[in-house]
Amino acid sequence: MTRDPLAGPSAPRRVAVVGGGIIGLSIAAELSRRGADVTVYDPAPGGTDGAWHVAAGMLAPGGESAFEYPHLTRLLEVGYELWPEFVAALGDVGYDRTGTLSPALTADDVAEAAREWKHQKLKPLTGSQVRDLEPAISPRVRAGAYAAAEHQADPRKIVAALRAALADRLVAEHVSDLSRVDADVIVVAAGCGTAALTGLPIRPVKGQVLRLRGEPGLLRHVIDGTADGRHVYLVPRADGEIVVGATQEERADRMPTAGGVHDLLRAALDLVPGLAEHELTEVTVGHRPGTPDNAPILGFLDDDRRVVVAAGHFRNGVLLAPITARLIADLVLTGSADPILDAFAPGRFR
């Protein structure tokens, strides 16, 4: 394909996106919407590989960033604001703004959670106030807090909608050598697979997640609580599914463990005893793409500006998908980086 000589390097036409997970597909959809000729490479573009398939889809700009890289807090806040517009283009992807309730079971759990509530400027609630908001919460719960601004969406529905929109752009191929990819610009958005392609320090952080199913309506809010020192979240979907997560382990294996499943179920049932009657439908293991500072890597890989990296989103890749798509599309199409990207450049690990 010939390039318009007046367009220059700042207007690439053919963009290859390596990785068809939630980040790669969001970027490809944004580029395609803005007129680029996009191809997405993924070994199984209709499959379930990728952290998105396991992720709960909590959109928690405050909770998840509490004690992190300060620039990440800002990116999460800006990214969170893009969600209404992002989902408007996708249809029903389970976007729910009921908010998140954080019950704490014991006095020790309350003492521990109180630090987080203070950090997030949330008003503590008594146990009975928590149950007024969510009657299925155990009478043993001592206190809690309500975060109106912490929402959820279903990553499986998001990926399905993006795949449908990009159906003729998806190619079933595992990329092992970027120099063999024929495109003006290559966006590497391969999650944990990005390390092998770029040499960047992205490591898999294992998470075990359960899915339960029962009559819809047991829970209305996302529950993000603590029971006897065990942290658990419960994300209720409209169809009666409840996602229970998650362990966080510095491991790369795909094995669900008795201990992991036990801890999640025990904390879940301590907080919401009625879950005992639910069907256990899935036990899944995924890997968060973690970086040394837990913040994503976003920007040109090298000075030749042919390869752009968009990976390492760790625990926040669902929340950050819309902002990543927008910033990376700007970078690919204009050649210049928004200043917010400075703190996330690949060069910080070189």
Residue ranges in contact with ligand FAD by CB under 6 A: 18-24, 41-43, 49-52, 54-58, 174-175, 189-191, 193, 197, 207, 209, 245-246, 286-289, 311, 313-319
To the nearest whole angstrom, how small is the minimum distance from the Cβ of residue 294 to ligand FAD? 11
To the nearest whole angstrom, how small is the minimum distance from the Cβ of residue 11 to ligand FAD? 25
Q: Which residues have CB under 8 Å from 209's CB, separation 6+?
A: 54, 55, 56, 243, 244, 245, 246, 264, 282, 283, 284, 285, 286
| C-beta of 94 vs 207, nearer to ligand FAD | 207
Name the strand (E) or helix (H) holding 194. Answer: helix 194-198
| C-beta of 143 vs 232, nearer to ligand FAD | 232
To the nearest whole angstrom, how small is the minimum distance from the Cβ of residue 319 to ligand FAD? 4
To the nearest whole angstrom, how small is the minimum distance from the Cβ of residue 158 to ligand FAD? 10
Residue with tokens 């495109």: 183
| C-beta of 28 vs 143, nearer to ligand FAD | 28
| C-beta of 12 vs 45, nearer to ligand FAD | 45
Q: Which residues have CB under 8 Å from 262's CB, separation 6+?
A: none
To the nearest whole angstrom, how small is the minimum distance from the Cβ of residue 18 to ligand FAD? 5
Distinct helix (H) and strand (E) counts, the chain: 9, 16
Alpha-carbon distance values, 88 to 2, 129, 132, 137, 149 (Å): 35, 34, 32, 32, 18
| C-beta of 54 vs 200, nearer to ligand FAD | 54
| C-beta of 69 vs 273, nearer to ligand FAD | 69
| C-beta of 278 vs 288, nearer to ligand FAD | 288
Say whether the peptide bond before residue 136 is cis (omega within 30 degrees of 0): no
Residue type, position 69, single letter? Y
- The string of DSSP codes covering 120-132 is TTPPEEEHHHHHH
| C-beta of 138 vs 284, nearer to ligand FAD | 284
* Helix segments in 218-299, DSSP class H: 258-271
To the nearest whole angstrom, how small is the minimum distance from the Cβ of residue 26 to ligand FAD? 8
Residue with tokens 């603590």: 226
Query: What is the rounded (10 degree) CA torsion for 253, 255, 257, 262?
Result: 110
Residue with tokens 């399905």: 160
To the nearest whole angstrom, how small is the minimum distance from the Cβ of residue 168 to ligand FAD? 18
To the nearest whole angstrom, how small is the minimum distance from the Cβ of residue 7 to ligand FAD? 28
